[in-house]
A and B are shown apart, each in its own frame.
Chain A
Amino acid sequence: MTTSFPRRFTARTQAALAVERLAAEASRRLGRGSGEMIGGKLALRVSPEMLAEVGSHRPSACVSGTNGKTTTTRLLARALGTLGPVTSNSGGANMAPGVLAALSRPPFDAAAALEVDEMWLPKVARQITPRVVLLLNISRDQLDRSNETRRIAAMWRELGGELPETTVVANVDDPLVAWAAAGWRRQVWVSAGQNWTADAMVCPQCAKLLYRNESGWWSECGLARPEPIVAVTGPRELLWYGRTIPARIDLPGRVNLGNAAMAAAAAREFGVEVEASLGAMTGLGDVQGRYQEVVLGEPGRRGRLLLAKNPAGWVEMMELLADAPPRPVVIDFNSQTADGRDPSWIWDVPLERLRGRQVLVTGERKEDMSVRLAYAEVAHSLHPSAEAAALAANEKVVDVVANYTAFRDLLVRCSR
């Protein structure tokens, strides 16, 4: 077979790229997902250094954090697309194999907008030396897997010392992120907001309690919220390098405007003007099915799909659910490995706010959610599936809040 891989790649990497392509195609043909994972895994086995080879000679950005990675990566890819071709792991495979798969597609000099898992960020970034790293937030997710939020922040902080050429775009409203980014050579500070503060009550630097007020947070040791150069200042407004600019995107909620601000600040480092960035971002109405309206089971029954995989995500969704008109809410709740096996975090979610709405519950752990709602005195009903719940709802259109595997399965069923 003929290869179209650049000659500067080693024979080993050329072979690995061929393996990746074959495996990914075979996997896609067999209908086993996007093929990113299996192809990337095999290729890394053939050539463990190939990530550096396919990734380090191109302009790239890595996006990491607990919440908002996929959305921010998608927004950034759109902004960078105003300059030329962009590659991105838009399927959400965000560990080394998924990143590798994205970097293995020609053209090999395309810019790269890469979503990277929090724990994998050092490994990936060390190899590809990105021009920009975006650090969004750190909160509890999947408690049974990685249980120390500070450990992630410390890992990120250390990474900065190894990447002297890389600019970090960091969210000043998350103390863990700000502390992690303070160790880097050059920062672009963005106020993207943080509506979940329970995981950042303790100073990551001195382990004393953090102080907070309306204008920020600070610690006895001197660590404090850096002054942002970019900030979300209103529902459709940004502070941008000293001026106030209108900012309107199609994704709902303040949280997504924060994601857009982070992405635009990163794109600026590649030479994209903010107006061009925001312009490219509008038109993106859903991200991997999130915020999308789908047919639920029967024609005429529709659901807006919302993903909430941890307490911080749920608090964000509460903001969206507060929109008028108040639709019935279907909650689809699992606790598989990818969700975190421990469902106790639902007790940290202010589900009391759902009182007065019609609430319908489904999912493998619906009984856990049901007890939570009973103690919140939220009347609700249990159903075997989201489709059955939608059929039982008082209105034709419902909001569906699902956690990770529930959302994934729902999306597969609805897009058939």
Chain B
Amino acid sequence: MRGVSATRIALIYPELLGTYGDGGNAIVLARRLRWRGLPAEVVNVPAGSPVPDGCDIYLLGGGEDAPQVLAADGIRQNRAILRAVGGGAAVLAVCAGYQVIGTSYPSGGRIHEGLGLVDIETRRSFGPPDAAPPPRAVGDIVVEPDPRLGLPTLFGYENHGGRTRRLPGAGGFPLGIVRRGVGDGSAAGGGEAGGRADDHGGAPGTDGIVDGRVIGTYLHGPVLAQNPALADLLLGFVHGSALRPLDGPPETVALREARHRALVTP
């Protein structure tokens, strides 16, 4: 249907939202298209310039406090991502980018307005105001994805101070259940816990959101390098059933086996 026109992958403000190697997600998507014989174009959107309309996939990565706010202001100003999603584009937002596509997020001691693309909010803590905020979530993370997605276990690394929860009546559903690590730091079903996955009083926490063609998550690594099936899910949003299956590459199979040995096998 799309003919020979290249799939355009927009890498948004990599200097601001690229702290954790998230630029790798663009490399992975472009390669997986080209390995299928499909043309791909990575559109680098440098900080300070407007987000372009008309891309097929928009990628937002992680960043430190000041860069996050600067990036969010740029993204909110021209609203190109909202228009593009309305027109069928896909979004992958990771870590700081995930927080930014929600309605609000904390940075530098203040609450900032987000893009409002998905119905989530992020705070330093959802606990009582007099309680110490939970520690920064840093470490390996393993997520069992929602069965509707048909994905295998997701591996990644997280590094964030915020805790995220879905708003009442939010669209979409959590990306998955956290088997190891923190993720959103809120229990499945919208609880207010903010600790490790295993101290929600038994209820496992969730990570991320899938709402239409928008995916948000705390997993970097970069997430698509460790989880090629998630990359193909995103590409499927754009190409539909025309996207032919792609095995491997064998290096990712070996990596996932190594991660499984290190993080899942007791």
Contacts and interface: CB of A to CB of B under 8 A. Distances in A.
Q: Which of A342, A346, A348, A371 has the most CB of B within 10 A?
A: A371
Contacts of A376: 27
A341 B139 contact: yes
Interface string A364-379: 0001101111111100
Contacts of A201: 15-16, 47, 67
Given A202-B70, A207-B66, A347-B27, A372 B159 contact: no
A120 B88 CA distance: 51
Nearest to A348: B21
A218 to B, nearest CB: 14
A345 B222 CA distance: 9
A208 interface: yes
Given A342-B157, A348-B23, A370-B255, A202 B48 contact: no
A144 B139 contact: yes
A233 B15 CA distance: 27
Nearest to B228: A371
Contact of A370 (B16, B24, B251): B251
Contacts of B254: 367, 370, 382
A344 B70 contact: no
Contact of B159 (A144, A202, A207): A144
B139 to A, nearest CB: 7
Interface in B19-43: 19-24, 27-28, 31
B20 A143 contact: yes
Interface residues of A, number: 32
A292 interface: no
B252 interface: yes
B37 to A, nearest CB: 15
A302 interface: no
Q: Size range of the interface on B? A: 35 or more
A143 B221 CA distance: 12
B180 interface: no
B71 to A, nearest CB: 10
Contact of B225 (A143, A208, A372): A372
Nearest to A209: B48
A140 interface: yes
B220 interface: yes
B64 interface: yes
A375 B157 contact: no
Given A344-B20, A367-B255, A209 B47 contact: yes
B249 A202 contact: no
Given A148-B65, A209-B70, A367-B258, A341 B140 contact: yes
Contacts of A208: 70
A346 B221 CA distance: 10
Nearest to A376: B27
Interface string A98-132: 00000000000000000000000000000000000
Nearest to B161: A147
B67 A371 contact: no
A338 interface: no
A144 B137 CA distance: 10
B138 interface: yes
Contacts, number: 93
Contacts of A202: 16, 66-67, 70
A69 interface: no
Indicate the member of B15, B21, B27, B64 with the most A CB atoms within 10 Å. Answer: B21
A342 B223 CA distance: 12
A147 B67 contact: no
Contacts of A147: 64, 136, 159
Interface in B30-79: 31, 47-48, 64-67, 69-70
Contact of B24 (A144, A341, A342, A372): A372
A150 interface: yes
Contacts of B138: 144
A198 interface: yes
A156 B109 CA distance: 22
A336 interface: no
Contacts of A34: none
Contacts of B258: 367
A82 interface: no
A149 interface: yes
Interface string A340-371: 01111111100000000000000000011011
A292 to B, nearest CB: 30
B46 to A, nearest CB: 9
Interface string B224-243: 01100000000000000000
Contacts of B222: 344, 347
A230 B251 CA distance: 47
B69 A207 contact: yes
B49 to A, nearest CB: 10
Contacts of A344: 20-22, 24, 157, 220-222
B31 A368 contact: no
Given A347-B24, A347-B222, 8 more contacts: A147-B136, A202-B66, A208-B70, A341-B139, A343-B157, A344-B21, A348-B21, A371-B226
18 contacts: A143-B20, A147-B136, A148-B64, A150-B66, A198-B14, A201-B16, A201-B67, A202-B16, A342-B159, A344-B20, A347-B24, A347-B222, A348-B23, A367-B257, A370-B254, A371-B252, A375-B27, A375-B225
Interface of A: 140, 143-144, 147-150, 198, 201-202, 207-209, 341-348, 367-368, 370-377, 382
- Which A-B residue pairs are the 4 nearest by beta carbons? A347-B24, A347-B21, A344-B21, A201-B15
Interface of B: 14-16, 18-24, 27-28, 31, 47-48, 64-67, 69-70, 136, 138-140, 157, 159, 220-222, 225-226, 249, 251-252, 254-255, 257-259
